[in-house]
Amino acid sequence: MLVQPLGSLAPHLQRVLRSPRAHQAVWRHFPSCAVPHLHTSKNLMSSELKQSDANQRKTSKAQLERIRRADTGSPFSVFTAGAARKRAESVKSQMGVELAETSTVTKVGKSLVPLKPLNVDDWKKLKTESPNKTRFEVSMMEKLLSARADIDVAKSLLVFVTMENGTVEYELLLKYLALCVQQQHLTEILDLYGMMKTRFKILDIGAYSLFISGFSKTDRWREAVMFLDSIKKMVTPSPRNYGDIVISALKHKEVETAWMLFKEMENKNLKPTENTLEAFFDYGKSFCDDQYENKVMYILFYLRDNQIYPGKGLMQSIHSWFESIPGKQWEGHETTILHSGKCPVCNTLLESIQLSVEEYHLLRECVMNDIIQGTDTFKKTTPQELQHFQTFVKNRPPYDIVIDGLNVANIAPKGNQSKILLDVVSYLANRNMRLLVLGRKHMLRGTRSWNKGHMADIQKYADCFFTENISEDDPFLLYATMHSGNHCKFLSRDLMRDHKACLSDQNTRRLFFKWQRGHQLVLSRYNPGNRMKFEIISKYDTIVQTTQDTWHIPYDEEGVERCSYEVPRKWLCLRKYN
């Protein structure tokens, strides 16, 4: 039954892949886009299959149509998870460099670790043989730790040390403690704690962290909170410190303690680890009351507010937690969202990528203050130029597309730069767009790559503004786009990461990124003489979101490296049946 639609798809897919356009040599000029595009059409088969599995109402006709649509506009935009990686790969393969796979150079045992406990004499012999006599014990313990050796070997080493020196140094004890924690010898950890407490007045942060993760697995997990307090006296504890205790508190059904710690972490601006969040969902299944449900909802909104995308493991925990709620029939599916912003499983329209009016004004303000003016207007431009530009923009009606002239002109390594720009500008102008082209003054000088005739033509099609050669043009681009209003888009391949970094706080950076995803046009294919193609701007926002009876949660796939300026592709759709 499933094979059937696939069978009917296969020839079409092959046609798509073999279509002459895919084989044109030109795509090599656009490393950023062409390869991802091809890749998605190949991948499409599996994802489509899953969808048809989830939703059998879809006819194969609709699927065909969707494939065709995917072909006309790659769903794989620059902001999709893994795009940067693919770009790097294609650039490297073009340069003829084999992409060095993360070579797993395992430390081949040049220094062997004893496998069985040795007695004192053997250790003594080993020590005289070793090149590093002063720190022999510590380095040996480190080796044992990295080799995950048996704890008895470590113990025998400690016996040897006590026989030699009459005592064990703190550093060695610490390494031994790390070994115990690594292998979860809980009684040994408790013993060690008793010993260290009597010997040392306080311990260092490393030891406290180790004790926290050790104790939180035992019945004495409450004492771990005490260690946390001692750490707090010196530095801010790490998210893992908190996480260890939260997990054990949840395991012992002490929801209040866990919740208090979670809140504390949030107040300190620490990002909880994946495991911590997973624990809330995993252990939450056993005690399901309204109060706890509220807490879980709070966590989901926390993910939303901080734009945290769960990993595969956490996603599965969330999935099973929802399905375990008694009384309400939740059903979850993994899916990918259509271009239209519609979830193929439940047909819900996802949140729009457009900013709200207040958000838009806030962002515009911040872009003006932080990115363009900054601490010193002279860094990026001059006040006169800025003034000039502002009046220039103000005196003209809003634009539809603002073009980064230099970025667009350099899209192909070969070819006349002004010609490329003219092509793009005329293409867009013929679609009745009001255009603004930004550039630098040197473009007007009339050189071989900047033909004066071309430049004159461009000025016929569009308004142009040329900045000084030493000014930056990106801030002007952002300003002009924002000033023209919400409908205005900008055309550039630049990811604007440096400008995003100029923004003062995390929230505006997130707003900027959302705005960028919704307003940045990227030229995905350009072939002189042929039509050009732009990457599709997604209509929906990739963020954890909910309606009355659905939740949509984007998550990171396993094995896909996602950069900070990319968003996941896969979604978890949760739907409630009443």
Partner 1 sequence: MWFRVAHIFQTFAGHYSLQLKTCVKNKVPLIRCQFMPHHRMLVLTSCKKNEEKKVSPDKLDLDIWKTIMKETASEAPKTCPSEDPVDAFSAATREMVQMWRLAGKAVPENITEEQLSIVQELPSKSAKKKYLKYLAIKEGKKKATKEKRKIKQEGAEYLQKEKQNGGGVELKNTFLLQFWQRSFDVMYNWRAAQSMLFGQPLVFDMSYESNMARREMENTVSQLLECEGFNRKSLDPFHLYFCNMMPEGSYHKELLKRYGDAWDRLLITVTEKSYVDIFPKDKLVYLTADSPSVLKSFHHDKIYIIGSIVDKSIQTGLSLANAKRLKLATARLPLDEYLKWDVGAKNLTLNQMISILLTVKETGNWQEALKFVPKRKHEGFLPVPEQKYCNQFKNHQNKTRIDNGPVKKARRQKSTLNLNQGVEKSSNKKRWWLDED
Residue 40 or 410 with smaller CB distance to partner 1: 410
> Does 453 help bind partner 1 (rule: CB under 8 A)?
no
> Under rule CB under 8 A, which residues in 470-499 are in contact with partner 1?
470
Residue 137 or 535 with smaller CB distance to partner 1: 137
Q: In the structure encoding, which two tokens stand for residue 191, read together?
A: 């013993």
Residue 199 or 361 with smaller CB distance to partner 1: 199
Distance of closest approach, residue 476 Cβ to partner 1, in angstroms: 16
> Does 181 help bind partner 1 (rule: CB under 8 A)?
no
Binding piece for partner 1, criterion CB under 8 A, among 154-162, 332-340, 353-361, 452-460? 154-162
Q: Distances from the Cα of 497 to the Cαs of 307, 472, 503, 514, in angstroms?
A: 17, 14, 10, 13
> Does 163 help bind partner 1 (rule: CB under 8 A)?
yes
> Does 200 help bind partner 1 (rule: CB under 8 A)?
yes
Which candidate, 404, 408, 403, 394, places its Cα nearest to that of 484?
A: 394
Pick from 291, 369, 469, 506 the residue near partner 1 by CB under 8 A.
469
> Does 162 help bind partner 1 (rule: CB under 8 A)?
yes
Q: Mapping DSSP to helix (H, G, I), strand (E, B) and coil, where does residue 439 land?
A: strand
Distance of closest approach, residue 386 Cβ to partner 1, in angstroms: 12
Pick from 169, 219, 305, 365 the residue near partner 1 by CB under 8 A.
169
> Does 448 help bind partner 1 (rule: CB under 8 A)?
yes
Q: What residues contact 219, with CB distance under 8 A and at least 6 apart?
A: none
Distance of closest approach, residue 189 Cβ to partner 1, in angstroms: 13
Residue 2 or 470 with smaller CB distance to partner 1: 470
Distance of closest approach, residue 235 Cβ to partner 1, in angstroms: 4
**Taking CA 355 as the corner, what is the angle to CA 351 and CA 358, rounded to the nearest 5 degrees?**
130
Pick from 91, 158, 260, 308 the residue near partner 1 by CB under 8 A.
158
Residue 10 or 202 with smaller CB distance to partner 1: 202
> Under rule CB under 8 A, which residues in 55-74 are in contact with partner 1?
none
Binding piece for partner 1, criterion CB under 8 A, among 22-30, 155-163, 250-258, 488-496? 155-163
Which candidate, 133, 188, 111, 193, places its Cα nearest to that of 155?
A: 188
> Does 412 help bind partner 1 (rule: CB under 8 A)?
no
Identity at 296, one-letter amino acid code: V
DSSP state of 110: S
Residue 125 or 460 with smaller CB distance to partner 1: 125
Alpha-carbon gap, residue 153 to 183, rounded angstroms: 13
Q: What is the DSSP string of 65-108?
A: HHHHHHHHS-S--TTBTTHHHHHHHHHHHHTT------------
> Under rule CB under 8 A, which residues in 117-136 are in contact with partner 1?
117, 119-120, 124
> Does 207 help bind partner 1 (rule: CB under 8 A)?
yes
Q: What is the DSSP string of 507-562?
A: HHHHHHHHHHHHHEE-EEE--TTS--EEPPPPSB--S-EEETTEEEEEEPPTT---
Binding piece for partner 1, criterion CB under 8 A, among 18-26, 290-298, 323-331, 446-454? 446-454
> Under rule CB under 8 A, which residues in 341-360 are in contact with partner 1?
none
Alpha-carbon gap, residue 540 to 353, rounded angstroms: 5
Pick from 24, 59, 165, 324 the residue near partner 1 by CB under 8 A.
165
Binding piece for partner 1, criterion CB under 8 A, among 41-49, 353-361, 437-445, 552-560? 437-445
Distance of closest approach, residue 178 Cβ to partner 1, in angstroms: 11
Binding piece for partner 1, criterion CB under 8 A, among 45-53, 156-164, 216-224, 296-304? 156-164
Which candidate, 190, 196, 236, 179, places its Cα nearest to that of 217?
A: 190
Pick from 218, 306, 373, 382 the residue near partner 1 by CB under 8 A.
382
Which candidate, 388, 402, 368, places its Cα nearest to that of 512?
A: 368
Residue 171 or 365 with smaller CB distance to partner 1: 171
531 forms beta bridges with: none
Which residue, chain included where needed, has tokens 């897919």? 13
Alpha-carbon gap, residue 483 to 479, rounded angstroms: 6
Say if CB 469 and CB 441 are below 8 A apart: yes
**CB atoms < 10 A from the CB of 4, how many?**
10
Identity at 379, one-letter amino acid code: K
Distance of closest approach, residue 206 Cβ to partner 1, in angstroms: 6
Burial of 64 per CB tally in 10 Å (0-12, 13-18, 19+): middle
> Does 301 help bind partner 1 (rule: CB under 8 A)?
no
Say if CB 211 and CB 195 are below 8 A apart: no
Alpha-carbon gap, residue 95 to 300, rounded angstroms: 44
Say if CB 548 and CB 328 are below 8 A apart: no
> Does 164 help bind partner 1 (rule: CB under 8 A)?
yes
Residue 180 or 536 with smaller CB distance to partner 1: 180
DSSP state of 355: P
Distance of closest approach, residue 237 Cβ to partner 1, in angstroms: 9
Which residue, chain included where needed, has tokens 């094995």? 559
DSSP state of 29: G
Q: In the structure encoding, which two tokens stand for residue 491, read together?
A: 């055309």
Alpha-carbon gap, residue 11 to 233, rounded angstroms: 67
Q: Please work out the total of residues on this chain that contact partner 1, with binding judged by CB under 8 A.
A: 54
> Does 440 help bind partner 1 (rule: CB under 8 A)?
yes
Q: Mapping DSSP to helix (H, G, I), strand (E, B) and coil, where does residue 450 land?
A: coil
Residue 164 or 365 with smaller CB distance to partner 1: 164
Draw the binding track, 236-275, toward partner 1 (x: CB under 8 A; -: no contact). Answer: x---------------------------------------
Binding piece for partner 1, criterion CB under 8 A, among 255-263, 342-350, 447-455, 484-492? 447-455
Distance of closest approach, residue 161 Cβ to partner 1, in angstroms: 7
Alpha-carbon gap, residue 357 to 361, rounded angstroms: 6
- Report the interface residues with partner 1, using CB under 8 A: 116-117, 119-120, 124, 138, 152, 155-156, 158-159, 161-171, 174, 191, 195, 198-207, 233-236, 376, 378-380, 382, 440-442, 445, 447-449, 468-470
